[in-house]
Amino acid sequence: MVLVAVAGVSGCQKPGVPPTEVEGSGITIRYEAPAGSDRDDAAFLRRRKVVEEAASAVAALAEVDRPISVGVVSCDGEGSSYDPELTHVEVCYDEVSETRELFRRASPRRADDDVAAVMLETLFHETAHALVDIFELRVHGREEDFADQFAALMLLRKGITGEQQLLAAAEAWHLSEVTNEDVDDGPDEHSSDGQRAVNYRCYVYGTASGRHRGLVSPDALPAERAKGCTKEWNAVRASWMTALAPYLRKG
């Protein structure tokens, strides 16, 4: 992966480092100066190069013919998002510490790797919205589920490491479900956090059931669901690859 400096700042005039482009990809990344409370999270993301990894992986898969900008910003709890007006993905520093806290409450010793994995999943999810928008993809089912499926696709393409990362994301969704049970946000366009966790586990099991037999349990991945996961994952992967077929990089 090669990053090159890009002259000028599009869309955002707040202070921070100049944007860089993943070379030849049309994807630019800009780290906005973090608010004081976000400094450690910003340092973590810079050190782990999670944003760069996501951008490079997407650029290696598909030729994006409209620029996508990725802003890494202080959002004050607003959550990561995609803005179709600007083809702009925004990722929040504070999601690093929110995720860390989620894992910490479940287990006092949690590796940074899992936090980085969840951030990578978030980036792929938001980038999926950008791809749906730019390529005008036909979405099967809900776009939010389709975006989760893209995150799964991008992680599982990495093999065993990606399987572990997708399982970390599944655990984060599971923990989010159990720790927020008193909060009723009402229906929204996403599947519930618990459903998202089970979906991710199903995809991991579907891609490599032999390695992940331990996932099958009433709490993690019910046996009834597990039975269909290979077929389900193959269908999910095929629907994304078919949708992206005209835009895939050759060779």
**Least spacing, CB of residue 81 vs Zn ion, in Å:** 8
Nearer to Zn ion, 3 or 83 (CB): 83
Considering only residues 130 to 149 of the shown chain, the ones binding Zn ion according to CB under 5 A are 144, 147
3-state class of 10 per DSSP? coil
**Least spacing, CB of residue 82 vs Zn ion, in Å:** 7
For strand 27-31 and strand 3-5, is the pairing parallel, antiparallel, or unpaired? unpaired
Nearer to Zn ion, 150 or 205 (CB): 150
For residues 107-137, one letter each, b for 16 or more C-beta atoms within 10 angstroms of the residue's C-beta and e for the rest, the string is eeebeeebbbbbbbbbbbbbbbbbbbbbbeb
Nearer to Zn ion, 128 or 215 (CB): 128
3-state class of 100 per DSSP? helix
Q: How far apart are CA 69 and CA 88, in angstroms?
A: 5
**Least spacing, CB of residue 130 vs Zn ion, in Å:** 11
Q: How far apart are CA 212 and CA 206, in angstroms?
A: 9
**Least spacing, CB of residue 223 vs Zn ion, in Å:** 30
Compose the 20-59 pattern: x for residues touching Zn ion by CB under 5 A, - for all others.
----------------------------------------
- Smallest CA-to-CA distance from 131 within 29, 9, 241 is with 241
**Least spacing, CB of residue 207 vs Zn ion, in Å:** 22
Q: Under a CB-based contact definition with an 8 Å cutoff, are residues 171 and 120 in contact?
A: no
Nearer to Zn ion, 30 or 125 (CB): 125
Nearer to Zn ion, 63 or 144 (CB): 144
The binding site for Zn ion (CB under 5 A) comprises 144, 147
